Structure formats: C-alpha cells, structure tokens
Amino acid sequence: MPAGYTREIPQRYRLEAGKCKKCGAVHFPQRLACACGSKDTEPYVLPSTGKIATYSVVRVGPSDFMDLVPYVVAVVELDDGTKLTCQVADAAPEEVSVGTPVTLEFRKVNQVGGHGIIKYGYKAVLDRFVE
C-alpha cells in the first residue's frame, strides 16, 4: 500500500453510518428514514473490527470478479453488533470460519474492463494480515 493512501481516501468512504435518535438502530449505509419511521438520525462511525458471523464461498463470480474466484463473502458482526456484508480479502476459503476475527479495510474491489475505472469498497481482512 503506497504511502499517503489513507489520507487520499475521501471522507465519504469512512465507515460512517447513521444512528436513529429515536430507537437507536444503526444503519449502514446511512438511510433517510429509520424502520421505526423516524427521520432523526445522527452520524455514527462504525468500529472497524469484528468477527465473521456467517460466510459463503463464491466459486463462480460476476465477470468483473472472475479472476478472484474462489472468494469468500461474509456477514461481519462488528464489535458494536452492527452486521454488514463484504468480501473477505486475500483469504482462502479454508482459512475462514465463523468467529474468525477480522478488521475492515478500505480496498480496491475491482477494475472494470480496460477503462481504468476502479471501484473501492470495504473488505474484511483476517487479523493475521493487518499491519
């Protein structure tokens, strides 16, 4: 990862969720209205660490991801209980199990065709890879 990488990440890519002021539900990504009907939410930064709650192994992926298969998509339960779905980075399927601790990192997800368009997103990284 090149130096300065973190500073170049726009603020909108932080793990910023919304928290309902009425019922306390956390939404990621942020929503305009909560399931309880309230539109009164406040910014809430999610913890970046958690563990794998469930996962599945993808062996045939969408064309943009074909060079990555097999890969693991997991539901990660963050330390505050929030759950989100993301890809597990750099992990062989047999290295992943329920309860495996992970850290969310902002990574390049894929490069689309030859147009140089790069998508970014969160990936779960097994703790042994975290620097």
- C-alpha dihedral sign at 99, 96, 70, 117: positive
Residue 38 binds Zn ion (CB under 5 A)? yes
**Beta carbon nearer to Zn ion, 35 or 118:** 35
Residue 17 binds Zn ion (CB under 5 A)? no
Residue 82, CB half-sphere, CA atoms under 13 Å: how many? 22
Residue 21 binds Zn ion (CB under 5 A)? no
**Beta carbon nearer to Zn ion, 26 or 86:** 26
- Contact residues toward Zn ion (CB under 5 A) are 20, 22-23, 25, 34, 36, 38
